[in-house]
């Protein structure tokens, strides 16, 4: 898995460099956060075509043949692995309450929820929050950098692309399964996740005039809203209706990363 992360990091840097060479967006409509817009739009078109031709039809077939409770169970399993990663990153962000809560979720669901297949932690009041290494770097002052649309991977930033190379427990390899079985698990994870987004993408197709701009702006605003720098002088409105988003003491209300 380390090889996969390393390849993604190298690809991100190479693609960003290629975009700089090929030319950046200019003019009055240029977005300062998206200096690589011509390249990013090309990658968006590539991803959109690949999704429509391959991934979306496969996800629709998967949804049709897989009962809802099975899809929920599979989602719970991967979400449980994510809780461990979130716990570690929350600890690195000096958020002990969220670190402890996510670890307790992982422990409860792993032990009593049949390796995370059943979510028992949520009914117990253990609220799930999401923290990743990109947010951790932002917490310690690393800027997001330019927006990047990665082939197959989708929206990202320079910081998030770099952090993905060492993301804790992202795409966990399950030993001692064979390589083919590990690949099957990863395919199921992708299909299950894409199936869960079918309604959202259908809605997006019907309402967005420029889907590229819509996705870019939502991604950047959400990443900014869920990444609070450690040394923000005073609370500021994060644009998501929560004026306390930048609190960072150990006794603060948890960050607005709750997964609904």
- pLDDT higher than 60, residue 190: yes
Task: Report the range of poorest mean pLDDT among 59-68, 85-94, 101-110, 243-252.
Answer: 243-252
**In a 3-state reduction of DSSP, which class is residue 3?**
helix
Average pLDDT over residues 32-39: 92
Q: Is the pLDDT of residue 42 over 80?
A: yes
Mean pLDDT, the chain, rounded, equals 77
Mean pLDDT of 171-192: 63
pLDDT of residue 165: 61
Q: Is the model more confident about 218 or about 179?
A: 218
- Give me the pLDDT at residue 40, please: 95
Task: Choose between 42 and 177: higher pLDDT.
Answer: 42
Distance, CA of 205 to CA of 223 (rounded, Å): 23
The predicted structure's pLDDT at residue 238: 46
At 181, the pLDDT band (50, 70, 90 cuts) reads low
Is 250:96 a contact under the CB 8 Å cutoff? yes
With contact defined as beta carbons under 8 Å apart, do 255 and 249 qualify?
A: no
d(CA 19, CA 146): 11
> What is the reported pTM?
0.69
pLDDT exceeds 60 at position 102: yes
Distance of CA 39 to the CA centre of its chain: 22
Asked if the model's pLDDT at residue 128 lies above 50, the reply is yes
* Across 61-65, 126-130, 143-147, least confident range: 61-65
CB 145 within 8 A of CB 158: yes
> Which has more pLDDT, 135 or 180?
135
Rounded-to-integer distance, Cα 14 and Cα 6, Å: 12
Confidence grade of residue 20 (pLDDT, cut at 50, 70, 90) = very low
pLDDT computed for residue 129 by the predictor: 93
How far lies 198's CA from each of 55, 155, 184, in Å?
Answer: 11, 18, 21
């Amino acid at each position: 898995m380390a090889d996969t992360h390393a390849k993604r990091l190298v690809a991100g840097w190479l693609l960003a460099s290629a975009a700089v060479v090929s030319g950046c967006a200019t003019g009055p409509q240029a977005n300062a956060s998206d200096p690589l817009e011509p390249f990013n739009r090309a990658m968006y078109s590539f991803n959109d075509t690949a999704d429509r031709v391959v991934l979306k039809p496969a996800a629709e077939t998967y949804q049709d043949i897989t009962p809802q409770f099975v899809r929920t169970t599979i989602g719970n399993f991967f979400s449980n692995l994510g809780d461990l990663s979130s716990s570690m990153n929350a600890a690195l962000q000096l958020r002990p309450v969220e670190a402890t809560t996510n670890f307790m979720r992982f422990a409860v669901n792993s032990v009593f929820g049949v390796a995370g297949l059943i979510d028992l932690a949520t009914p117990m009041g253990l609220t799930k929050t999401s923290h990743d290494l990109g947010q951790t770097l932002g917490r310690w002052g690393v800027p997001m950098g330019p927006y990047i649309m990665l082939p197959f991977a989708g929206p990202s930033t320079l910081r998030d692309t770099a952090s993905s190379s060492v993301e804790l427990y992202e795409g966990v390899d399950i030993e001692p399964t064979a390589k083919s079985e590990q690949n099957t698990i990863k395919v199921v994870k992708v299909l299950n996740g894409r199936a869960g987004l079918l309604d959202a993408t259908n809605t997006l197709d019907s309402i967005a005039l420029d889907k590229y701009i819509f996705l870019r702006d939502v991604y950047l605003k959400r990443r900014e809203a869920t990444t609070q720098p450690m040394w923000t002088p005073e609370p500021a409105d994060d644009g998501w209706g929560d004026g306390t988003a930048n609190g960072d003491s150990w006794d603060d209300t948890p960050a607005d990363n709750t997964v609904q």
